[in-house]
Chains A and B, each alone.
Chain A
Amino acid sequence: MFFGKKKNESRKKQTETLPPSSQNKETPVQANDQMKKNETISETTEIFIQDVKERVLSPADFVVRHVTEKISITFVDNLIKEDILNLKLLPALQNIENESPETIISQLPLPQINKTDKMTDCVDTMLTGAVVIHVEGHSCAILVIIPARESRGLTPPENESQVIGSQVGFNESLSTNISLVRRYIANPNLGNEKFKVGKQTNTALSVMYIKGIVAEQNVNTIRQRIEALDIQDIIDSAELSELIDDNKLSFFPQMLITERPDRFCDGLLSGKVGILVDGSSMAILCPYSFFEFFQSREDKNLRWPIATFLRLLRFVAILISIFLTPLYVGALTFHYEVIPQSLLVPLSESRARVPFPPILEALFLELIMELLREAGARLPTKIGQTIGIVGGIVLGTAAVQAGITSNILIIIVALCALSSFITPSYMMGNVIRIVRFPIIIMAGFWGFYGIMLAFCILLIHLLRLTSLGAPYMSPFYPPRIRSWGDSIIRFPYRFTVRKSATTRVDGAEFSSNQDGQKNDRNVEE
């Protein structure tokens, strides 16, 4: 609905902007002329090159070369592979006998050659890395696509490291990333659809999915949302994920951003839709449910009891991370009766010198923690370690000795911070940390009642959220008991369903499909 509206608006804009230019009666013929000139490719080489130059504003790296009397080539210097140009293309062109476009296409020893008679097409392809060949007397251009794909080598994924499992991460080149995915899934059903997004950047996107496993409606939704995008530029996939989210006002990420090809492929195999963005080392996976954010790919490489333990540990960690500091604040402000006497004595002793109420004390320490984290993330790695030591040890000890905070709170805050970093998704980890602040404030105002209030709001919010139309709290609500084996616990593969609960569609065809999937898995074992 929302996207449909947007589309209509953009269409309206177009129709609104068109009339004034046609009403501009001073130079109507000229304008028309220009339009024609721009659309078609001229027969004479000189005018053609002039047109191209005008279009690309004749930059310093724009090269024109006349190979023979009739054939001339143009390209942008830094975008093409020079050795192919020198060793293959130029000799082939020089030796051509019959200088017509058809023979050129048939005789060039290169795979990707297109012919076009549209100027826009010609310029756009040239800018992605193509040599444009123009033959005198023909109103068409031949595009030889030989892009120089400069990219760094494949490195281990730094933000999502894991002990056991593959150690390769995506890099910034779309073609490399697609090849990585194809190496994991050598399957003719692996769908790959290309899109261009951003009026200024013309960024290439690849929407990937596995036909037969993915719910077709999810792919359609993604297609519609991407096509309806009306934006100027896009640099990274994280921006895209926010633009095509279900609920744009929420704290919570509704799509996974990952830099691990194995996690990406795992998602595709469980029926999710993946998006790769050129120039970004992060891939998007959707739909993703809340609980799936706390699963690591490594869980599948470990034996199931250990994986179950780790998943439960993570879950406990979230609860600690969100609620421990608020509980401290609430208990010490209003409900000290809750604490047994043996525990109350050391607590009050450590707090005896602290002049602030617990809420200020806690907010102050949490703020320091956030500052340390942010400083550590921005600084170069070598200095970052120093900051950790300075912040963690020096500041902490000094704060206690100066009587600004209590020892116990430092332990609690450190525990909370540690727990929040356990989350396998950085995006989700951030949310877990930030969500704590309002809860601390509510605990400081209304004690346990405030914490419970915050918990209920959080629960309702999570229940309201959807990811690509799938409920965010699945597989717990709506209950898909067959998927519970692979949720916050992991059963042996024999008892789990490969297909993710978020990607399931109610209906007979899908349930049968899913059974087939399950059997496949068993056969593999």
Chain B
Amino acid sequence: MKNKLQIGTNEMFNAPLLFYIICASQVGVGVHGFQAVIYQNAKHDAWISIIISFLAAYLSVFMSLKLLKMYETEDIFGVNLDLFGKYIGNFINLLLVIYSSLAFFAIIRNYTDVINAWVFPELKPSFIMITLMILVLYAFTAGLRTIIGICFFSFFLGLWIPVALIIPLNYANVNYLLPVFSADLVELLKGAYYMTFTVAGFEVIHTLYPFIKEKEKAKKYVSLGLFFTMFLYLFVMIVTLTFFSGEQLERTIWATLSLFSNIRLPFLERIELITVCFWMIVILPNLCLYAWSAFRGMKRIANISEMKFILGMFSLIFIGSFFIETRSEIYEFNNKFGYTAFIIVLIYPMVLYLIAYIKKSVSRQRAGKE
């Protein structure tokens, strides 16, 4: 391991904060309308698909934590360099950086779409993107501490949202959930596969790991975070399944937002307008974390300054947004991105762990022979 990371203790953060990071990074634009796609595959057993996808996510996190523990003070970019050498390693790192940028793009593009569809049809998407990018820039230049602070506040400020979703439960029809296990395994797995876009986000742990102060506690808090989001998604899914009938749900793009539009308070109506705007603080940590981890990766490949990188990335994303404009294009992009995420987030860490394990045991055998 030639290029070891040098991280001062003042840059590190306490392990309990991982809980908020994981929650904030997972919950994002996906929540607005993840139900319909899964329903198409798993029907009213969609909630089982969620559990399956989280089991897969947990397995992936488990593997990647084991992998990173082998290297102790390295992030995934360093692991790649160590396992595959300079050239292939850097190539894979570049792919990971591109993945992070694509994730950034997916979030920001979906959010602008939701804003346009629900709140301001006439507001230019480019304007929304620029304002969001300015926000991210402001947070990003302040460093990791501030970004984690945003995760923390995003978590607590967003807690009212699941509470508000209790109100639609008044109209719930539990019979919609029955009979359980009517979908076969393939359908359930397919549904779980389509959850990837919504579940993705916890992969920031690959980059964050060397910054954790008490590394032995990391697993505990990451799993807690995963469980929290799983229960959150399960709750939203069950509310949706019991609220909408099957046909209705298939035709609803943003089921969660439609749920909100049924909430009426004596002084407020159409809460989904507020929710959509409020979602800015929910996606802000995602955007910051992806920008940050893309930068961490890029720093390994080329010695580049923060500002140059982030401005370059933003301008590329901004230009890219002109190629994906309509709703159907965004939908297609989401599907492709979900596929990429499936490979990079769920499959890749496991493969990497296997390679690292084999390499380690081989070198140990050699050392034993000598």
Contacts and interface: CB of A to CB of B under 8 A. Distances in A.
B150 A463 contact: yes
A449 B115 contact: yes
A457 B133 CA distance: 12
Given A460-B138, A477-B153, A338 B274 contact: yes
19 contacts: A338-B273, A446-B120, A448-B274, A449-B120, A453-B131, A453-B135, A456-B135, A456-B284, A457-B135, A463-B146, A463-B149, A464-B138, A464-B142, A464-B146, A471-B149, A473-B149, A476-B152, A478-B145, A479-B152
Contact of B150 (A334, A338, A446, A460): A460
A457 B284 CA distance: 11
Nearest to A461: B138
A479 B17 CA distance: 8
A338 B118 CA distance: 12
A343 interface: yes
B139 interface: yes
A90 interface: no
Contact of A452 (B13, B265, B266, B278): B278
A463 B142 contact: yes
A315 to B, nearest CB: 14
A184 interface: no
A448 B273 contact: yes
B54 to A, nearest CB: 26
B269 A449 contact: no
Interface in B145-167: 145-146, 149-150, 152-153
B270 A460 contact: no
B139 A460 contact: yes
Given A449-B119, A463-B150, A340 B284 contact: no
B332 to A, nearest CB: 26
B123 A446 contact: yes
B302 interface: no
A451 interface: yes
Contact of B267 (A340, A461, A473): A340
B119 A448 contact: yes
A459 B16 contact: no
Nearest to B154: A459
Interface in A440-489: 446-449, 451-453, 455-457, 459-461, 463-464, 471, 473, 476-479
A335 interface: yes
Contacts of A509: none
Nearest to B266: A340
Nearest to B119: A449
6 tightest CB-CB pairs across the interface, nearest first? A448-B277, A463-B149, A452-B277, A464-B142, A477-B149, A337-B270
A456 B269 contact: no
Contacts of B274: 338, 448
A453 B123 contact: no
A452 B281 contact: yes
A339 interface: yes
Interface of B: 13-14, 16-17, 115, 119-120, 123, 128, 131, 135, 138-139, 142, 145-146, 149-150, 152-153, 264-271, 273-274, 277-278, 280-281, 284
A448 B128 CA distance: 13
A157 to B, nearest CB: 34
A477 B152 contact: yes
A210 B139 CA distance: 36
B268 A340 contact: yes
Given A340-B266, A448-B274, A453-B135, 10 more contacts: A335-B273, A338-B273, A339-B268, A340-B269, A447-B120, A449-B277, A449-B280, A453-B131, A476-B152, A476-B153
Contacts of B16: 479
Contacts of A455: 281
Contact of A338 (B270, B278, B281): B270
B12 to A, nearest CB: 10
B158 to A, nearest CB: 12
Contact of B14 (A456, A473, A478): A478
Contacts of A339: 267-269
B212 to A, nearest CB: 14
Contacts of B149: 463, 471, 473, 477-478
Which among A334, A339, A459, A473 has the greatest number of chain B C-beta atoms within 10 A? A459
Contacts of A343: 267
B281 A456 contact: yes
Nearest to A506: B9
Nearest to B280: A452
B182 to A, nearest CB: 39
Nearest to B128: A449
Contact of B264 (A335, A340, A451, A471): A340
Given A456-B135, A479-B17, A449 B150 contact: no
Interface string A322-363: 000000000000110111100100000000000000000000
A456 B271 CA distance: 20
A334 B123 CA distance: 12
Interface in A465-520: 471, 473, 476-479
Contacts of B150: 459-460, 463
A523 to B, nearest CB: 31
A511 to B, nearest CB: 14
Interface string A418-455: 00000000000000000000000000001111011101
A473 B281 CA distance: 17
Contact of B135 (A338, A460, A478, A479): A460
Nearest to A335: B273
Contacts of B264: 340
B140 to A, nearest CB: 10
A230 to B, nearest CB: 29
